[in-house]
A and B are shown apart, each in its own frame.
Chain A
Amino acid sequence: MGRFLLPLAGFALLAVLLGIGLTLDPREVPSPLIDKPAPDFTLPQLHDAEQTIGTADMRGEVWLLNVWASWCVACRQEHPYLVELGKRDLLPMVGLNYKDKRNDALGWLRNFENPYNVSASDLDGRVGIDWGVYGVPETFIIDKRGTIRMKHIGPLTPKVIEQELLPLVEQLQGEAA
């Protein structure tokens, strides 16, 4: 009867594997940029193209970079949470407006409220490439020394904000520059 048990044993192994698989999130891709210096950029600001914003301007602060676009449906999903986070004024929030049209982007912020302290306008998506963006939205947390400490792919949820993002920010703000 031994060999008739083999298929069952194989399946049992598979079932355990699939069970573990369920607890993992395939979208949780480690970013090679974690704990690496944030790539430098200087981009025109969305609201005022005469002025620029870039990595250097944020040195010495724990800040959030959120990659968004007006054409991105998932961004609309996370938007209320960003607005709420912005109102709590815990850290500077920079938007990276990715492969978008200026007017569409400005209209979108007017319609849905602007959670960002400032938005950088990455019209051709080059900065996005430097930062390893491969889907919008993505969110980064950068520490006072300019090192990327967290990357979240996909829309932020209240759970991610409360349980991952904010504890990390609190810890980072306690660190020396």
Chain B
Amino acid sequence: MTRFLFLVFSGMLFLFSCKGNKETDDFANSEDYQNLLLGIPQAQIDSIRKSEEKKQVLLRKHSYELDSVTTVDLMLPIGNFLKEYSFSSDINIADPNSTSEIDEAESPMSVGVQNPFSDGDSGEVLLIGKSSNPNIFPVSDIKKYNETEKILFESKDALMFIDGFGRKKLYYRIYNPTTSMYYLYTAEVPKYNDQKLQYAALFSIYKKAQNLLAFNKETPAENLSWEKVKSSISEPELKNYDAFYKSLAKDLKYFLKDNDSVNIEKGKIQLYLYRDEDHTKNTFDQVTILGNSEFTGTFDNLDFQNRLYRGYFHRIYDRDDDEFKVIRKISDNSILVKTTHIGYSSDTINYYIISSIKTEKGQFYLISPTNENGDDLTSLMNDYFSKHLKI
């Protein structure tokens, strides 16, 4: 990235040192300058685009309450979620120098779209509003109100461009005539060091935006496995997941002894891995035992040999009051459990996946929060990891 900026900077220097406007224009339009802006060859960009386009999308429906009267349904790839966001996006949809551009009644509400690794809130922002004008906020306006140094792709409703700082941005608009609602997907790609990752992120976001209202494409929850989902996930996301599980494997292999634990908590992801010395010595596996039981009760009621409370849950729950219930066996290695924290006015319910990992290094347990069906991305990955880990 620094190198890229440096290149752009030296390009600018060169540009300014040119005499006369004609030459400057020539340079700005020259192939060299265009290549400088792209960062990597066009052919490489095209192949990244194709590979992201080819990926099957696995979508889930999310409902979001825009205000007290309006709830919208949106389709997002597995692992993505919506987050309240009340600022404007990084892309100007109206003239930034004028304040009275947008009609109050037609002005949009903003919602953040995030994946487990979103850094900050402003990366992907969806603007939703109501208007009788089907052509509201056209691509031509976006080109006018933003610094589009290099346009990567343009169509009637989409614009992908690089701005003067080398940032890659996306604009995608959808208008639904039956509801008179418009949806503007705006995004700025995270500044990964690797240009290839930046492009992968850009094209994967474009695909996400195109499928925003694809209600007929919802992926059935059954039969989902990590193998299936993996091929649908964008390159930058995969890289992050990979780093976490590689680290867990190394920890398990080299560093976790006795009853040691490691906790990886980044963004929305939490992975807690611990070793159980007693279970290692006695070849006891509490996941198998619980999976075959229909246990429900307080943490205190758990079998004395069961050390889930001491191993993990003591961090959050009260032994005597809070409840623990086995929902179902996910696989031979994993179970889905439900916990209830008894509060003063209301109870808090959470779900976890607990996976057992038996290796020559000992008996380990991997725990992560999950959803009520135990079929979110973390669940699929944890179960896969516990089955296929080779050390």
A binds B: no
